């Protein structure tokens, strides 16, 4: 950081300091609060491993950060078969998935809004969910979801 107050010091200067000195400015060290802070990993938090299975059987096993949705994990990792046209606002049914029977209790039940959006999806089954409405937690480590043949 350069300051135009005062003359430059004649001490040993680094590259940034030399550039300031050349312009007739004085080098001022940035305040320590202006330095970027590192984010530390939170103890006990790990990624949940989620298996996305396409209609043709192709599997995508991904580590998804807790706090994201199952849909966000798919979109961020370019998993084909989850279109997410509304971006996760529960305003379409293009993130429709079939939750594996062993996981239906742990993913919770569909809200009234989700149920009304599922009316627009093709091939709805009792284990159908909108992946934008399934929040990833450590308890969902190992979750398996299958995609329908078409989202439109």
Domain ranges within the chain, ordered by starting residue: 2-34, 48-146
- Kindly report the pTM of this predicted structure: 0.69
- How many H-runs (helices) and E-runs (strands) does the chain carry? 3, 7
Cα gap 118→27, rounded to integer Å: 62
pLDDT in tens, 49-92: 999 999 999 999 999 999 999 999 999 999 999 999 999 999 99
Cα gap 20→65, rounded to integer Å: 44
DSSP strand pairing (48-53 vs 144-146)? parallel
**Does domain 48-146 correspond to CATH entry 3.10.20.30?**
yes
């Amino acid at each position: 950081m350069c300051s135009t107050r005062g003359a430059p010091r004649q001490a040993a200067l680094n590259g940034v300091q030399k550039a300031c000195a050349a312009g007739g400015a004085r080098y001022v060290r940035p305040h320590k609060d202006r330095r970027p802070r590192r984010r530390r990993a939170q103890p006990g938090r790990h990624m949940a491993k989620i298996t996305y299975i396409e209609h043709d059987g192709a599997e995508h096993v991904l580590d998804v950060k807790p706090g994201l949705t199952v849909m966000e994990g798919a979109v961020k990792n370019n998993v084909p078969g989850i279109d997410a046209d509304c971006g996760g606002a529960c305003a379409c049914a293009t993130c429709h998935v079939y939750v594996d029977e062993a996981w239906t209790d742990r993913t919770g039940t569909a809200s009234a809004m989700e149920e009304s959006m599922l009316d627009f999806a093709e091939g709805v089954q009792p284990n159908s969910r909108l992946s934008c409405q399934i929040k990833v937690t450590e308890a969902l480590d190992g979750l398996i979801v299958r995609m329908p043949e078409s989202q439109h």
